[in-house]
Structure 1
């Protein structure tokens, strides 16, 4: 695989993404690396953008300008409240990342999918190793954050990494054993975070992966069954010969079990506690949106931002902003078969109870969908090698 400056910068970004050195809401060390990559792309590569991506780029700019307009007008209307305008920079930053990956990945989409797969795999391996060795701060906390600022960030990171790897593995040769290791690392960090939304979304994504594997006759379905049965057989043997309940004594297992048993019972496991009541209490903002920030303006059960990607978009940017967002999603995935949408779909499922739209890896995943649309995807079999097989619709 040919090494280039943009691939090195992208690898460093993904590798350092989980390391939060500053408070949430501020740029982290990985973001400064991404800014260098954005500058490089817009200075030297943006003129290479192919015409077939023009509609996607225009939708991206329309979405970003709507956010700029809504937050800008509300900042003025509220007497120069720059807090309302604060979130705009993150949307534009992520929009720039989205277009950067499209520009860089358009010429070699298969190679970029492969590079991102291994970049994410390395990042997951580092985090899993830190988890196993207890190297991260707060190792004895009930919910792990590793090097993030809170557990939900870790859970969403694991979910996005799982989605990116399952999607990228469709487009280049990867042995099944490596894919299973990536899945295991992703599920480990998600389980350590004890994020109920991330755990449920990850399990559903994995089941969708099994369904798609069965549909495409890749052989991965039966390999997964064998792996699961082998794990249970190993646990049975250990329990039989040591007289110990291995699962019961496994801290992470019991913590996940306790966490899921309270699903729907905790104080924040309802729509009002996620801020959905704000929409019903202020229907006047339905069309144009209320902007983000100065949440004390609103009557709601919570005083912070609305904890939902779609609901926050709808309340903050109205019907127009929400429509532009879904049009942008559709423009990215439209060149793929419906069942190939599941890695992105379950990020939206997670976003029903958490606002994950400002997470950059989400926009990188969308960019990957865009540049790989129309490519032939494949199946993993014959020892785990991916062979070309046309499962995707061709984009003209």
Structure 2
């Protein structure tokens, strides 16, 4: 029997050859990943700090505009222990779409997801998924982070920061990764930063006479250049600011001035500036790449301050021609600069509520 180099030694010492076998259907491999994310081989991706994952959702929708519905549907959306979203597309080698179409699909998902995925929506999908599997979302987050102090809310705030910074992982999964896809993945992974592109080949071996099945994942895309990429310093805050357009830089200065006058401290992530109110509740974030000030209204609705949230939203909508979503409206930086006095009133209300 052709074993392709995979053997099993049973308790009596007999050597049993296992043969490679295709998956019965793409759905079979998709379900295996959903229930066993470790098949993504996180130890091969980052040996010094193996990746661990939780499933946010299968068939997660990807919008192509603020507040839009899911224009596309990806196979899996996972998140790792550092809050890095991991987008997974599954194709069998026999599927002709693995040649070119799947690469374009993946780039569409990533390019639009980092801009338009609503973080509260992702958190809600995660909680729904975990409950459908009979798990407590908070317990799963604590296990993933190995820290009982990490809450679902604080974890997904980090997920949002990673998204807006473009820190996302794209993973192609197949039973056999063709050479052309491997070359594309290696090229993209070397060129993209901080985004990461990888392929995982999950071969299936069977011994039909014994009813045994073995799965063997292999990660492709980590060349010498990409392995060193993690050691490259990410843009500093000064570089992020210097590379922003004039409206963003002006808004950044106005926020600092307001915080100084109000005796508040601004914090920062790789994605931008965080504005906090009482009890360190995030009230807004300035995202230079998005050229917008994101106003966090949904947390106030969640704690019963619906009237305040609706009043702020109504005021914001009178100050811009852009359509604003009700939960976390992205208010354009040029409008925020032009209507700064009105923006300050909203920030003051949220900061003291």
TM-score (norm 2): 0.27
Larger Rg belongs to: 2
**Structure with the largest fraction of strand:** 2
TM-score (norm 1): 0.24
**Using CA pairs below 8 Å that are at least 6 residues apart, which structure has the higher relative contact order?**
1
